[in-house]
Amino acid sequence: MGTQMQPQLTVIIPHLNEPEGNLRRCLLALDAQNAPHLRLQIIVVDNGSVELPSAACADFPDVLLERETTPGPGPARNRGAMLAKSDLLAFVDADCVVEPGWAQTIVHTMNSHPEVDVIGGDIGILMTDPAHPTAIEAYESIYSYRVRLYVERHGYAATGNMAVRASVFRHVGPFGGIATMEDTAWGQRATALAFKTVFLPQAKVLTPSCRSFGELVRRWDRHVAHQFDDWRRGQSTRLRWFAVCLAVAGSPLLEAFRIFASERVSGLRNRLLALACLTRVRLYRARRMFDVARRDQAAALLESWNREGL
C-alpha cells in the first residue's frame, strides 16, 4: 500500500477470537482493493480475544491493530471510527471477503451522490462448494442477510457491510453496546434524523455460513432476547407474545413459496435443503420465544451471546 495519498476510505473491522485464516483472508481481499488512485486505511479493533491477531495484521504494513476493552462489536467499531483519517468509513466483519471493486464502488457512489449518507452493501454466503451447498448455506443465502429489506423497509444497514460519511457518523453518534442491536438502533436513529440510506448491491461481501445448527440458532437467541425486551417496553401482553410464538412455528408453510421463488439459490435440492433448515430454525425460535417469556431470560442471553468460550 502506498503512504503518500490521504486515504479515501477507512475500513473498520471488529475482531473477537476469529480464526487467523479468516482475518488474513479478509485483509488480503481488502489489500487487493488498493489502486494508484485509491487508498484505504484499515483498522482492526480487537474486542477481548484470547490472543491478539498480531501475526495476521503484521503481514499488511498499513493495517492498524487496536484494542477495545468494552465488550461488543459496537464499541469496537466506535474505537475504529475515532481513529479514522478519511471522510468515508466502512464496516465489515473479520470473516468477510469483499468482492473486487467493492471499495471503488463505495467511494464513487459517495462522491457522485452527495445526497447519499449511508450505504448498505449486499452480503452473500461464501460456500465451501457452491455447486453443493449445505442446508445451512442454502438457508442463510436466502434469510440471513436480507440487506435490501433492512434498508428499504426497516431503515438500517447491516454493519457486516456498511459505509457512512464520517461527518454523518459523528452527528448520529456511536453504536450501542453489547445489550443492543447496534446496527438496527444506529441506522434507525440516522433515518429519524433524515439521513439517506441506500442499498448498493454492487458493493458486495461474502461471509461464511454458520458451521453448525447450534451456532446458527445462537444468533436467534440474541434476536429473541431483544425482541422480548422491546415487546415488554411497549406494554404488550404476554398473551400476544405467545400468539406470535405460534405464528413463527407455523410460518414455514408460507415461507416455502418465498424459497421456491428466490433467486439466491437454484435447483430443487438446494431449495428443499433451505426449507428443511428454515423449518428447524423457526421451530427452535418459537420454543426459545416461549422460554424467554416464561423464564424472563432476556438479560442473560444478551450479556453472553458473543462471549462464549472466553
* Residue corresponding to grid cell 453443493: 132
CATH superfamily of 9-208: Spore Coat Polysaccharide Biosynthesis Protein SpsA; Chain A (3.90.550.10)
Burial class (CB in 10 A: 0-12, 13-18, 19+), 75: buried
Burial class (CB in 10 A: 0-12, 13-18, 19+), 2: exposed
Q: What is the pLDDT of residue 103?
A: 97
Cβ-contact 73, 160 below 8 angstroms: no
Q: What is the pLDDT of residue 293?
A: 75
Q: What is the pLDDT of residue 4?
A: 61
User: What string of pLDDT tens digits covers the 310 residues of the chain?
Assistant: 444 678 999 999 999 999 889 999 999 999 999 888 899 999 999 999 999 999 999 999 889 999 999 999 999 999 999 999 999 999 999 999 999 999 999 999 999 999 999 999 999 999 989 889 999 999 999 998 999 999 999 999 999 999 999 999 999 999 998 777 889 999 999 999 999 999 999 999 999 999 899 988 887 787 777 677 666 665 566 778 888 889 999 999 999 999 999 989 999 999 999 999 999 999 998 988 888 777 765 555 555 545 443 3
For residue 12, give the nearest of 152, 230, 175, 225 by alpha carbon: 175
Q: What is the pLDDT of residue 47?
A: 94
Burial of 261-288, coded b for 16+ CB within 10 Å and e otherwise, reads ebebbeeeebbebbbebbbbbbebbbeb
Q: What is the pTM of this model?
A: 0.84
Question: Which grid coordinates belong to 235?
Answer: 406494554
Q: In what order do the strands lie in the sheet containing 40-46?
A: 63-67, 40-46, 9-15, 88-92, 161-165, 118-126, 197-208, 97-98
Q: What is the pLDDT of residue 181?
A: 82
- Whole-angstrom CA distances from 193 to 65, 114, 165, 227, 242 are 32, 16, 14, 23, 34
What pairing do the DSSP bridges indicate for beta strands 9-15 and 118-126? unpaired
For residue 154, give the nearest of 115, 117, 123, 181 by alpha carbon: 181
Q: What is the pLDDT of residue 303?
A: 52
Question: Which grid coordinates belong to 114?
Answer: 452527495
- Whole-angstrom CA distances from 181 to 36, 81, 157, 175, 281 are 38, 18, 12, 9, 20
Cβ-contact 134, 209 below 8 angstroms: yes
Give me the residue spans of the domains in the chain: 9-208, 213-304
